Chains A and B, each alone.
Chain A
């Protein structure tokens, strides 16, 4: 049973470029969560999605950030026109149902130069 997959594991972008982070949930899981972790800090919730629906995006910055979870394929977290402050580790988690026990992927470490 494959766990939560995220790719790429490391991503370097210059300021102003776009970053696309992908997450494939565990088999059988239809609930996906994205979290951001700054160095030496805990995880901060960004967005919660089910297939084709954004359920809660209360943690998403109002501009430049978007997320989707299409009917087919992985969930995508997209950051447009990246800035240095976007440098962080972005973790995806999936679960059987709302919240429950969440299983985390290995994360994507974004570095903006």
Chain B
């Protein structure tokens, strides 16, 4: 079973609105990372949050981490059409790999 599970699976919003995506995981982690994937392309690293951090910002992105609930959220503020992509959370649980969730497909309508 997957370590990370994103919610919702798909999200459609208007340009300018905020988009919130959630990720839940099962085991303890060293850090959690969010990636973006445009259709048919590779993954772009967005942000890494360590297990001892609660919140992190990068431009229009805000990531929170609640280790007690084993969950994280990614907020994209003032969305743009160019933000249309799939967003994946990935956990590093001190193994040798990242474990990815199934992704949230975000569509931002102009």
The residues of A with any CB-CB pair to B shorter than 8 Å are 4, 33, 35, 41-45, 48, 55-56, 58-59, 91, 93, 98-99, 101-107, 109
- CB contact under 8 A between A42 and B88, given known A99-B30, A102-B45, A105-B42: yes
The CA of A104 and the CA of B48, in the complex, are separated in Å by: 15
Q: Is the CB of A91 within 8 A of B96?
A: no
Given contacts A43-B100, A104-B42, A107-B41, 11 further A-B contacts (CB under 8 A): A33-B98, A42-B103, A44-B100, A45-B97, A91-B43, A99-B30, A99-B92, A99-B95, A102-B33, A102-B45, A103-B45
Q: What band does the interface of chain B fall in when counting residues whose beta carbon is under 8 Å from A?
A: 20 to 34
A-B contacts, 19 listed (Cβ < 8 Å): A4-B42, A33-B98, A35-B100, A42-B4, A42-B101, A42-B103, A43-B98, A44-B100, A45-B97, A45-B98, A56-B95, A56-B97, A99-B97, A102-B45, A102-B98, A104-B35, A104-B42, A106-B42, A107-B42
